[in-house]
Amino acid sequence: MKRIWVIILNFLMLTVPTLAWADAVKKASKLERKIDLANLSGLNHFFAKWYNDNLWVYATIATVLMGLVGLAIAAGTDIILKMIGMDVSKIEHHE
């Protein structure tokens, strides 16, 4: 009897998430958003067009761009700290 309950429980554990996923796919189509490009120009139009056309390309470019901005901020901070006389070299750890 215990074995039957285990089989039923395993079956439910496999089917319930599948049913929930199927319902989520129906609702996800309602969430699709497009940005109106009529009033945009320049970089705003450029990024909004990528967002509308291919969300994966937009996400990749946004991630790379954030990394580059972070590197630029770090490099600028290093330059400013060196100019005011602070040591910004790597710290050596002695154990």
Q: What is the pLDDT of residue 30?
A: 63
| Tens digit of each residue's pLDDT (9 = 90 or more) over 75-86 | 999 899 889 988
Q: Which residue has the higher pLDDT, 36 or 68?
A: 68
Query: pLDDT band for position 93 (50/70/90)?
Result: confident
Dihedral sign, Cα of residue 85, residue 86, residue 89, residue 92 = positive
| Distance of alpha carbon 93 from alpha carbon 26, whole angstroms | 56
| Tens digit of each residue's pLDDT (9 = 90 or more) over 4-40 | 899 988 888 888 777 777 666 666 666 677 778 788 8
Q: What is the pLDDT of residue 23?
A: 66
